[in-house]
Amino acid sequence: MRNKTLAVMAIWLSIVGISLYWNLVDDKKESKKIALETARAFFQQIVVGRSWNARHGGVYVPVTKTSQPNPYLVDDPLRDLTANNGLKLTKINPAYMTRQIAEIAAKEKGIQFHITSLEPIRQENKATDWEKKWLQSFEKGAKEHSEFSYDGSNTIFRYMAPLFVEAPCLRCHAKQGYKELDVRGGISVTLPFLSKKRNSALLVGHGIVAISGLLLILTGGALLGRNRLLLVKSNEQLKLEIIERQQAEAKIQTQNTELQESLSKVKLLSGLIPICASCKKIRDDKGYWNQIEIYIKEHSEAEFSHGICPECTKKLYPDFK
């Protein structure tokens, strides 16, 4: 019984383990799908904003500590303007705008954007090792890349897609030798990911299920052992009852056999017997009249021994004394 209980426990733990593995794999697939769609959405928002900015030839914002004149637009005669009220304005091009959006996102949401290329004008835009590898693949026609990674303390999701040169971009990049639809670089999006918390929830949930199942198996095994003992005792008692019953039935059968043998020796006459009022002959079932002793002999086990009663003796033999 103990071995069977251990076997059932092992099977149960195997089932829970397989379920946990399957859920972890499925959760990872689903998590990557969600993270990929989220990163794509952020990337597209940046691209749309950059396109709007480029089509307007840049946008002007007041000069502040965080929005200083762009040193990379020093050759642009319209980089800085002064409004009629004396307000100083400076031009924000798509690259500058992307950097400012990335700084705000990193502070508020923990999301990191990084505009980069294999030939960056601004050294802060230099590609990391993994960005460089993906940028090289974009040059060969790759559409996007994504992966989970570990930054030393947290799991992150990294996504990157290429930036193509559009017609408005040629105002600045034509002198660098770029043509329309050339790959200028790319934007990487890094998202924080709570995989550990999700995995912990799955581990705790399956742990509770595993422990609950083991307790039920142990409890059920104890009850099964007890019930099995009771069943054995009941079976032994039932066997005794069956033996006693068989003996009683055998005794009754013997008595019935003896009774049948006794009855077979007795043959009774019953019903109305037609008898002649004069000669005392009896009519049988075929209509023949037979002597009474013949009829009785045929319809019973009785045997006759003939003699003469005193009255008949006087009548038939008056001289006999």
CATH of the domain at 116: 3.30.450
In a domain, 211, yes or no: no
- CA 230 – CA 244 distance, rounded (Å): 21
Residues 199 and 220 sit within 8 Å (Cβ to Cβ): no
pLDDT in tens, 161-184: 999 888 777 777 666 777 888 888
Q: Answer whether residue 229 shows pLDDT above 80.
A: no
Burial of 320 (0-12, 13-18, 19+ CB in 10 A): exposed
Same-domain check for residues 286 and 157: no
Last residue of one domain, picked from the residues 200, 218, 235:
200
Contacts of 113 (CB under 8 A, 6+ apart): 42, 46, 98, 101, 102, 105, 106, 187, 188, 189
pLDDT in tens, 267-295: 555 567 788 877 778 887 778 788 877 77
Contacts of 128 (CB under 8 A, 6+ apart): 116
Same-domain check for residues 41 and 188: yes
Looking at the chain, list the stretches that DSSP marks H as alpha helix, in order from N- to C-terminal side.
Answer: 2-55, 94-108, 129-139, 170-173, 195-264, 292-299, 310-316
**pLDDT for the residue numbered 138:** 92
Same-domain check for residues 296 and 182: no
In a domain, 168, yes or no: yes
For residue 115, give the nearest of 38, 47, 193 by alpha carbon.
47
Residues 113 and 105 sit within 8 Å (Cβ to Cβ): yes
The range of the structural domain enclosing residue 293 comes to 282-316
Same-domain check for residues 30 and 158: yes
CA dihedral 34, 37, 43, 48 (to 10 degrees): -140
pLDDT in tens, 146-164: 998 887 777 889 999 999 8
Structurally, the chain folds into a number of domains equal to: 2
Same-domain check for residues 288 and 196: no
Same-domain check for residues 305 and 181: no
Last residue of one domain, picked from the residues 200, 227, 250:
200
Last residue of one domain, picked from the residues 163, 179, 200:
200
**pLDDT for the residue numbered 262:** 62
When pLDDT is cut at 50, 70 and 90, the band that residue 225 belongs to is low
